[in-house]
């Protein structure tokens, strides 16, 4: 027995050394920007560029109103227009404010949400005159009642447009056991909203999806002989929409999968006759639907979850996103994309048929460290303090927490004693496809120069935070008839299987 002790110790030391080398290998690639991604954004923002731009925007202001499409004589329902956080709150609230800014009568605008407005501009002035119907969109009866609520006499006969933005975003959850946490709102809630919109006589229905629908999952725990994971660099396009919904484990998480299913629900509901041409397309009638896939992350506004919490935090903030590259997209750009899509659906010459997802305008790719530099440079008092722990430590921690959560999901009785924590989510280099800015549906991207980025950061620079989880890089595909692809029928076996995944280990 004593003779075997050195052998055991030696074997353990070798195993420990091998494990350490393997983790160091993972840490190395996670902390490095892929060269193919860096090629899309070779210029780093300098402090002089940032301060000059900040001062110019601060002194000159920023007015988006001239860029809004013209006012239309219509009623509007914005589903998910009250929340202060995540994409639905950022985009929905901004969309309501853009409707008012272009001259819509507040009496012709309605918000449907599960809670009332929290944005200051919806609590005073014209925003306070906007009707708010509180409803749980997972309840068919509740959402139907919210849609059917009477309108003011002078607007009740106007045609109706619906912008469905409400969503549950749980990017860290990918296990089938908790699929319904996203599906209840993102799939069933969307179906309920579609049915209620039809019953209310709406003829335009535009829903918000996510560019992450095109993202493939990544296994970060690569073999020692691999230089980086498969799909570490991806181009996210709209091509997946023309194919069957992938199996749930072929999405980065449950959120993206539910959004893919919801896209088919929305586009399959389209009743825009493919054979109708000319001026008839601009007339009310039918049920014209479409999807906007925003880039990621969505930022903007004092409640921004991307930058706000970082700038508001008094404590150091750990991050492993510094080397990542991503197309950041302003909430104002995303909101405006919905208005432009409505305009296109009502156009006698530009209405797409059949409808398909359309990526909203995104910024040219930016290195996360550039945004950290911008935040540190523009915040005069208590600038954010960033910490850069080894990314592999956060990856291992995230995996351990996920296993712990799965145990709680499998044995619910454990929740009587143990609580379920949030856990981390990471990603990779995702290249977001973007149509040419000359498209009548799209507006020009903000661009990669810090002058465009700072224009959105300046009004709320004390409230923002960076906590994103993937890269996106812009590719510009050709525009043409293939931009809008045939949606899959809702009764296809792929959609039916995808909408109800079975739990598995």
Q: Which residue from 263, 252, 332 is spatially nearest to 292, judged by alpha carbons?
A: 263
* DSSP state letters, 124-188: SGGGGGSEEEE--TT-HHHHHHHHHS---TTTTTS-EEEEE------TT---GGGHHHHHIIIII
When pLDDT is averaged across residues 305-318 and rounded to a whole number, the result is 78
| Residues 79/190, Cβ–Cβ less than 8 Å | no
Say if pTM beats, i.e. exceeds, 0.85. no
| Residues 299/280, Cβ–Cβ less than 8 Å | no
pLDDT per residue as tens digits for the range 84-93: 554 457 889 9
- Strand pairing of 160-164 and 75-79? parallel
| Residue 390 buriedness (CB in 10 A; 0-12 / 13-18 / 19+) | middle
* DSSP state letters, 303-341: T-TTTHHHHH-SS-EE-S-TT-EE--EEHHHHHHHHHHH
Instruction: Specify the higher pLDDT residue, 285 or 275.
Output: 285
pLDDT at 358: 60
For the chain, what is the mean pLDDT? 76
Within a 10 A sphere around the Cβ of 366, how many other Cβ atoms?
A: 27
Coil vs helix vs strand at 432: strand
Question: How large a percentage of the chain has pLDDT more than 70?
Answer: 74
Query: Is the confidence at residue 304, as pLDDT, over 60?
Result: yes
pLDDT per residue as tens digits for the range 160-195: 999 999 998 888 888 899 999 999 999 999 999 999
Contacts of 213 (CB under 8 A, 6+ apart): 240, 251, 256, 259, 260, 263, 293, 357
pLDDT per residue as tens digits for the range 439-465: 333 333 322 333 333 333 322 222 222
pLDDT range class, residue 150, cuts 50, 70, 90: very high
Asked if CATH classification 3.40.50.720 holds for the domain at 47-383+423-499, the reply, yes or no, is yes
Burial profile 456-494: b = 16 or more Cβ within 10 angstroms, e = fewer = bbbebbebbbbbbbbbbbbeebeeeeeebbebbebeeeb
Report the C-alpha dihedral over residues 328, 261, 355, 300, rounded to 10 degrees.
-20
């Amino acid at each position: 027995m004593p003779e075997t002790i050195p052998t055991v110790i030696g074997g353990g030391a070798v195993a420990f050394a091998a494990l350490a080398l393997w983790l160091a290998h993972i840490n190395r690639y996670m902390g490095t920007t892929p060269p193919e991604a860096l090629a899309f954004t070779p210029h780093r923002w300098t402090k002089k560029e940032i301060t000059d731009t900040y001062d110019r925007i601060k002194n000159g202001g920023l007015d988006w109103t001239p860029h809004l499409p013209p006012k239309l004589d219509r009623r509007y329902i914005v589903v998910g227009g009250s929340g202060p956080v995540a994409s639905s709150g950022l985009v929905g609230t901004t969309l309501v404010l853009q409707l008012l800014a272009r001259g819509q009568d507040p009496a012709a605008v309605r918000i449907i949400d599960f809670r009332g407005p929290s944005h200051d501009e919806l609590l005073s002035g014209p925003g306070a005159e906007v009707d708010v119907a509180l409803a749980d969109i997972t309840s068919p009866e509740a959402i139907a009642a919210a849609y059917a609520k009477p309108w003011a006499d002078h607007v009740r006969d106007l045609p109706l447009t619906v912008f469905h933005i409400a969503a549950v975003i749980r990017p860290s959850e990918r296990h089938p056991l908790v699929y319904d946490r996203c599906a209840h709102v993102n799939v069933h809630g969307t179906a309920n909203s579609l049915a209620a919109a039809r019953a209310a006589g709406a003829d335009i229905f535009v829903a918000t999806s996510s560019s992450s629908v095109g993202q493939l999952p990544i296994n970060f725990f690569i073999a020692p002989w691999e230089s980086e994971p498969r799909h570490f660099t991806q181009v996210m396009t709209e091509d997946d929409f023309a194919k069957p919904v992938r199996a749930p484990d072929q999405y980065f998480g449950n959120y993206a999968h539910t959004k893919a299913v919801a896209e088919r629900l929305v586009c399959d509901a389209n009743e825009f006759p493919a054979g109708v041409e000319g001026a008839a397309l601009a007339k009310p009638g039918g049920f014209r639907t479409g999807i906007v896939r925003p880039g990621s992350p969505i930022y903007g506004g004092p409640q921004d979850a991307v930058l706000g919490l970082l700038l508001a935090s008094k404590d150091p903030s750990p991050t492993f996103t510094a080397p990542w590259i991503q197309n950041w997209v302003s909430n104002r750009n995303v909101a405006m994309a919905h208005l432009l899509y409505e305009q296109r659906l009502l156009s006698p010459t530009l209405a797409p048929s059949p409808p398909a997802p359309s990526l909203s305008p995104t910024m040219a790719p930016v290195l996360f460290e550039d945004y950290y530099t911008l935040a540190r440079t523009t915040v005069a008092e208590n600038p954010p303090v960033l910490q850069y722990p080894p990314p592999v430590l956060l990856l291992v921690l995230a995996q351990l927490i996920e296993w712990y959560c799965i145990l709680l999901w499998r044995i619910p009785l454990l929740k009587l004693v143990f609580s379920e924590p949030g856990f981390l989510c990471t990603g990779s280099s995702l290249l977001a496809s973007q149509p040419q800015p000359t498209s009548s549906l799209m507006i020009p991207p903000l661009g990669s120069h810090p002058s465009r980025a700072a224009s959105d950061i300046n009004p709320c620079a004390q409230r923002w935070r960076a906590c994103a989880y993937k890269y996106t890089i812009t590719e510009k595909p050709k525009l043409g008839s293939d931009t809008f692809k045939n949606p899959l029928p809702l009764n296809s076996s792929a959609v039916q299987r995808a909408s109800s995944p079975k739990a598995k280990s």
